[in-house]
Structure 1
Amino acid sequence: MSREESFSPSSRSWLPRVAVLSVVIALAAVVRVVPHPLNFTPIGAMAIFSGAYFTDRRAALVVPLVALFVGDLFTSLHVLIPVVYASFALNVLVARWLRSHRTVVATATVTLLGALQFFIVTNFACWIAFYPHTVEGLRECYVAALPYFRNTLLGDTVFVGLLFGGWAIAERAFPVLREPAPVAATV
């Protein structure tokens, strides 16, 4: 399906869905700035949800990245933000696969892979920025990060369940939120 097919100017059936998806992402970002256990946030879930449900690839990346940035303005800006955002964007892109494979097992697999890649990528950057550049420094960095990984995985799992489950209920209750069928191109 091409962008023109799903976002035809003559058909605005996608507008309520995009608006509500954006609000859901914004609400998830707000949850991130309220007190919570370290790394038990909806950030990874936002990326996966966004990648799986936004039809437009650019919206899937931009909406949650903007929400993440606004949240960072309230929490903290730090030297590793470019790596965190790149890892977050990678999770959005990996979750695009769920658009055509949305099952509990596939979603759980993407959630686990997303948490693992976030752990590996961001802690590697942390090692480069803050630890001795030795094998022992690398080991020390990843061992120190293990408790945070547990909370990241738990947070991602809980919030993916809430976002995906909540959206499924919303789509059933409000058919306007369902992904519209592509508009056929005229020749």
Structure 2
Amino acid sequence: MPHPNPHAVDFLLARRSRPAKTLTGPAPDRVALEPILTAALRVPDHGKLEPWRLIVLERAALDRVAEVAARRGEAQGLPEEQTAKGVSQFRESPLCVAVVAVPRPTDKVPEWEQLLSAGCVCLSLVNAALASGWGACWLTGWPAYDAGFLTDALDLAPGERIAGFVHLGTEGAVPPDRPRPDLAATVRWVSA
């Protein structure tokens, strides 16, 4: 027989990320962040490969990373607005956890499944933060795909990628909820 957890189901039915621009300080400190990170790592991980790692960017690191984003955007000739958006996600963030996908060489678990596991870490991190009373948002943006930024700002190794930048902080003004998917349009039932 199932053992329902109605509180968890209610949370999942109502959960929603908070726009990064609405997050303010304070952010969770290391003591508050530890159980959130521990929960975030409880994801499907076929083969127990741990194909991910986390980089916690605190205030001084966020300022440094924002400067790297500014230099990289300018060096690439990105439009000013696009560069500014990449810079602001770090400059304005109270705290950011970079979830790094680290595919492991193995014949048993396809790389795709390892990347999905890293994506699960992102969502679990957002949900754990929200469940702990913090605001959280999962972003990527051009910095997540710029090799020079990833090397200069985060010292990623060849083959490592960003699954997401999860920004955490205190919830500010909460905008209205967005429309949610229509089950009738997205679910196909197969009975035989």
TM over 0.5: no
From the two aligned structures, give the one with the greater strand fraction.
Answer: 2
Normalized against structure 2, the TM-score is what? 0.29
From the two aligned structures, give the one with the greater helix fraction.
Answer: 1
